[in-house]
Amino acid sequence: MSMNLGPIFEPFEIHNLRLRNRVAMAPMTRNFSPGNVPNQKVVDYYRRRAEGGVGLLISEGTTVNHDAASGYPNVPFFHGDEALAGWKEVVDAVHEAGGAIFPQLWHVGAVRKEGTEPNASVPGYSPSGLFAPGKPNGKAMSKEDIDDVIEAFADGAQDAQALGFDGVEIHGAHGYLLDQFLWEGTNQRDDEYGGSMENRLRFVVEIVEAVRGRVGPDFPIMLRFSQWKQQDYEAKLVTTPEELEQFLKPLVEAGVDIFHASTRRFWEPEFEGSNLNLAGWTQKLSGKPTMSVGSVGLTEDFISGTFASKKEAVEQSGIDELLERMSNHEFELIAVGRALLQDPEWLIKVKEGRIDDVEAFAKKSLTKLY
């Protein structure tokens, strides 16, 4: 028997983007692009999720054209003829299967360690030479470095549009470069890019403005941001709705169309006195459509997540609460990660009530591509 997933399967439109439903595949680093080029296995991986009915696929983090952008092996580039040709095949495959796709443009910042490919001698770059508060790594960026990275993001977005992508996501979350500028703990600068929230936002605002200038008014720009960091799960950029509004306003003015508010568990409230999660507050305060995310289809926490029994996989994954929140338009889109990583047909099976067919999440799915 089919489940009533009404709000999830409503179409979504913004600018030139038309989605068949409101489910996205969350961006997940895969490390399966030897030579930093997406190959046929990567093409097939994205095609299968589109064939599984997902409305929007957000690519794994793909690095912009800056020497220090990458921090992990076999991560795909979003620059250079060979890598872009590989991404063109991904785009075409997703479109043929009825889906839409954004690349996630990424710079890892001080997460990078010397010795990492593609150029082992390049250090990590960051606002203040800090990986985490009190933990040095790499070099503090000069104004010229900042300008170079802004240009790299703009170039990437322009290339995405030329390749036929349906929009672009800028990775501003999880303790990577953009988030290192936003986070007071890693941004100890005393120039116009440090200090006040307005100054710490400046780098991200200038990236969004540069991207908007390249792609025009109708190409959707999504920004992913988070409170938590891989360096500190309890970190906060803001502690009140008022601070969140101050954070969001300049980004809206710069040209963000959709906010992707990353949380570890979508059902957890963000501030005391309200059941709204971070995405809910973001949509309320920004007036922009927002995507939520966080353990949809999983019963455990972000790191050790695993499905329970097959029947419990849907019943305990918060589907009812998710539907209620989306019916109330707390947020317009929902991203699903490891459930789709494990089972490309997860959405179809949930829609059709085929609970017993849902594949239980296994950590081995993190180390293979299918």
Fill in the DSSP letter of residue 16: T
| pLDDT attached to residue 315 | 38
Whether 62 and 77 have beta carbons less than 8 Å apart is answered as yes
Look at residue 1 and tell me if it is in a domain.
no
Q: Find tokens 């994205």 and name the residue.
A: 46
Residue 10 lies in a domain: yes
197 confidence band (pLDDT: 50, 70, 90)? very high
Question: Is residue 182 one of the residues assigned to a domain?
Answer: yes
**pLDDT tier at 353 (50, 70, 90 boundaries)?**
confident
Structural domain count of the chain: 1
The arithmetic mean of pLDDT across residues 273-291, rounded, is: 95
Mean pLDDT for the stretch of residues 330-355: 85
| pLDDT tens digits along 209-238 | 999 999 999 999 999 999 999 998 989 999
pLDDT at 312 over 50: no
User: Is residue 19 included in any domain, yes or no?
Assistant: yes
Do residues 59 and 99 touch, judged by C-beta distance below 8 A?
A: no
pLDDT confidence of residue 297? 61
List the end-to-end C-alpha distance of the chain, in Å, as a whole number.
28
- 45 a catalytic residue: no
Question: Which is catalytic among the residues 45, 46, 125, 176?
Answer: 176
Query: Tell me, what's the pLDDT at 364?
Result: 66
146 is in which domain, residue-wise? Answer: 6-367
On whether residue 37 sits in a domain, the answer given is: yes
Peptide bond into 118 cis (omega under 30): yes
Residue 266 confidence (pLDDT) = 84
Q: What is the arithmetic mean of pLDDT over 245-262?
A: 97
Q: Which helix (H) or strand (E) holds 254?
A: helix 241-254
Separation between Cα atoms, residue 6 and residue 117, nearest integer Å: 45
Max Cα distance, the chain (Å): 61
* Percent residues over pLDDT 70 in the chain: 89
Structure tokens at 204: 């991200």
CATH number at residue 81: 3.20.20.70
91-140 pLDDT per residue, tens: 999 999 999 999 999 999 999 998 898 889 999 999 999 999 999 999 99
Q: 9 and 351 in contact (C-beta within 8 Å)?
A: yes
107: phi then psi, degrees, rounded to nearest 5: -140, 125
Mean pLDDT score across all residues of the chain = 89
In a domain, 295, yes or no: yes
Strand, coil or helix: what is 151?
helix
Q: 109 in a domain, yes or no?
A: yes
Using CB atoms within 10 Å of the CB of residue 13, give its burial: 0 to 12 exposed, 13 to 18 middle, 19+ buried. Answer: exposed
Q: Does residue 263 lie within any of the structural domains?
A: yes
DSSP 301: -
